[in-house]
Amino acid sequence: MATMLQRCSRASKALIGTGKLTPKLYKMYVQATRTLSSLPASPSPSFPDEYPHAEMRTTYPGPRSIALGKELAQVQHTGAVQFFVDYAASRGNYIVDVDGNRYLDIFCQIASLPIGYNHPAIVAAMSNPSNLAMLSQRPCLGNLPPADWLPMLQGTLGSIAPRGCSEMVTLMCGSCANENAFKAAFIWYQTNARGGRPPSDADFASSMHNTAPGSPALSILSFQGGFHGRLLGCLSATHSKALHKVDIPAFDWPVAPFPRLQYPLADYEAENASEEARCLAHVADLLARHNTHRTETSQVAGIVVEPIQAEGGDFHASPSFFRALQQLAANHGAAFIVDEVQTGGGSTGRFWAHEHWALPSAPDLVTFSKKLQTGGYFAKPAFRPAEGYRIFNTWMGDPVKMLQLDAFLTTMREDNLLENTEITGDYLRAGLMELAARFPGVLGNVRGVGTYIAVDFATPASRDAMIVRLRQLGLQCGGCGDRALRFRPALIFQPRHAAECLNILEHACTETR
């Protein structure tokens, strides 16, 4: 078996390098290699000096991590700390902790690490003397952009801009991206309502007291289970975990159900179609009440949705669901805002997850952060306010992150990493299906696209215990929702890494018997 996997991995690697291995061809390999009983010998990795495999020297968490955590607790909450990291020693798909434990990382800094640890392209960008001026002071990009700001934007964001979204706004993080996209939607909605005229004196005056008409009762429609960040605006659109929301005042914005599909999809076609129709009907009803009949307090200026509800538990919907959603938004004068903070950056096998939907036209606004290193959003031209300073911040992003984004995108193209992700994802998903078949009470609901995959465990407690156990076995991973394990590896995650991951998971599942 090891030999099969090894051969498969080598063949894949050789072909990936030439760009000749199609997903279909690779599936044939996968068919033959479902049974994972031992780690394949590692082919020489394409990542220079990458470690051959995970290796644990202590248990998880290691004694030094525990000691450092106790010390840190003097000045910060450490309830979310997993372990302390030796970032200089981490490399490629492997993260090394302060106890010398080396984990295969399928969580990658909450899905924010694009091409692994200490990737040579990023190291080169950060040590290139010609970038030193950009590293040594942080410009106010909105006031005083560097000379090459436009080429820097065009060479990075311009190369991945959704068709029709010519507007590019850089910001600080995902929450900041979403809040500013909301603001752009509000300004656009009110400008439309005024027939394109600027705000009136009464608008300006009342806004200074947080009252209407200047501070209008507008809302963003969001979905149960969605996550759009933790600032006060986007937290009102977040409904993934109550602990994130409780005790914080919220805008009374409408919330619709998001489909809860049953797996395997092929077995539940009718049920899933009906579930999506139910959710769409709910959205349509909310929009009618808020925007058409105006029987509710607020008007919906935008609908915000994740392509895959990530923090909420990796819930998917079909392309036709999203196409219908876009149409509903357009019919009711609301912006269609796609939050690609976690899904963007290639891990679904396309750079943007919404590329899987075959939309007739681009979303109105697409927000991003995480793997792109810079937060921000793309927008259609209509979402540019007429006046300056309305979407503004001291820094408006950070050119250092643009240098990293440039290194990421260049590497992604040169190394065919989207194709690698599709191939590795097919292989990983096939392996997980096999584990689900072998461990039916333990693990199930295998779902995902590219390497953006999740599985469910039986209960929240068994999922939580599984995460600890997987770390003890050398797999750095993270959950989402109540009982899901999510896979968020970097784009350099290859079939050999997926095989290692599957072996660790198989080992842990076997123990639960």
Active site residues: 227, 339, 370, 394
Partners of 383 in beta bridges: none
At closest approach, how far in Å is the CB of 23 from a copy of itself?
29
- CA dist., res. 337 & res. 349, Å (int): 21
Q: Which of residues 86-125 bind a copy of itself (CB under 8 A)?
A: 86-88, 90, 95, 98, 109-110, 112-113, 117-119, 122-123
Beta carbon nearer to a copy of itself, 393 or 416: 393
Among the candidate windows 18-26, 77-85, 439-447, 464-472, which touches a copy of itself by CB under 8 A? 77-85
Q: Please, what is the end-to-end C-alpha distance for the chain in angstroms?
A: 23
Beta carbon nearer to a copy of itself, 183 or 438: 183
Partners of 456 in beta bridges: 444, 484
Q: Return the biggest CA–CA distance within the chain.
A: 76
Is 30 exposed, middle or buried (CB count within 10 Å of its CB: 0-12, 13-18, 19+)? buried
- CA dist., res. 31 & res. 312, Å (int): 32
Q: Are 472 and 501 in contact (CB under 8 A)?
A: no
Rule CB under 8 A: say whether 363 interacts with a copy of itself.
no
Among the candidate windows 8-16, 48-56, 79-87, 450-458, which touches a copy of itself by CB under 8 A? 79-87
Residue 46 CB coordination number (10 Å): 14
Rule CB under 8 A: say whether 279 interacts with a copy of itself.
no
Residue 479 CB coordination number (10 Å): 20
Rule CB under 8 A: say whether 384 interacts with a copy of itself.
yes
Beta carbon nearer to a copy of itself, 141 or 502: 141
Is 462 exposed, middle or buried (CB count within 10 Å of its CB: 0-12, 13-18, 19+)? middle
Beta carbon nearer to a copy of itself, 209 or 513: 209
How are strands ordered across the β-sheet holding 365-368?
167-171, 375-379, 365-368, 335-339, 299-305, 218-223, 255-256
Among the candidate windows 367-375, 429-437, 451-459, 505-513, which touches a copy of itself by CB under 8 A? 367-375
Q: Which of residues 176-195 bind a copy of itself (CB under 8 A)?
A: 176, 179, 182-183, 186-187, 189-191
At closest approach, how far in Å is the CB of 118 from a copy of itself?
5
Q: Which of residues 137-176 bind a copy of itself (CB under 8 A)?
A: 137-140, 142-147, 149-150, 153-154, 158, 166-169, 172-176
Query: What DSSP character marks residue 273?
Result: H
Among 18, 74, 295, 414, binds a copy of itself (CB under 8 A): 74
Rule CB under 8 A: say whether 134 interacts with a copy of itself.
yes
Among 1, 250, 281, 437, binds a copy of itself (CB under 8 A): 250
- CA dist., res. 326 & res. 274, Å (int): 19
Residue 390 CB coordination number (10 Å): 12
Beta carbon nearer to a copy of itself, 125 or 498: 125
Residues 280-309: x/- map of binding to a copy of itself (CB under 8 A)?
------------------x-----------
Beta carbon nearer to a copy of itself, 166 or 327: 166
Three-state SS string over 378-395 comes to EECHHHCCCCCCCCCCCC
Residues 462-491: x/- map of binding to a copy of itself (CB under 8 A)?
------------------------------
At closest approach, how far in Å is the CB of 2 from a copy of itself?
32
- CA dist., res. 455 & res. 433, Å (int): 9
- Which residue type, as a one-letter code, is found at position 48? P
Beta carbon nearer to a copy of itself, 135 or 288: 135
Among 37, 129, 195, 414, binds a copy of itself (CB under 8 A): 129
